[in-house]
Amino acid sequence: MAARRLIESGHQVGCTGIIFQPLAEATGARFVPMVNSLDCSDPQNVPEAWIKQRNSLRGLSQLKFDLRHFFIDAAIGQVKDYSKPILGVSSRCASS
């Protein structure tokens, strides 16, 4: 597994969603959940209004909804979560 090789080489391993916690820990990484972005890896975290709106869409409209809500709008919080361990500000993300 690539993450395990990175850890063995002294690298930090970045944040991941809660459903991937067992996999992250199996590599030897310490898992700490995301705090600045919505963790959509667990469907229970997705707002009910989003689910209803998304289910009312089809095709390209649904894809655009997904890109906007799950990727583009989430990017700022994800960058905050990912940047802290890199900058040494916090250990909120999985690291070796």
Tens digits of residue pLDDT in 39-49: 888 899 999 99
Query: Any idea what DSSP says for residue 30?
Result: B
Task: Check pLDDT > 50 for residue 58.
Answer: yes
* Predicted pLDDT of residue 13: 67
Using CB atoms within 10 A of its CB, is residue 50 exposed (0-12), middle (13-18) or buried (19+)? Answer: middle
Spatial distance between the Cα atoms of 87 and 53, rounded to a whole number of angstroms: 37
Share of the chain above pLDDT 90, in %: 31
Sign of CA dihedral 77, 79, 85, 88: negative
Radius of gyration of the chain (CA): 15
**Any idea how long the chain is?**
96
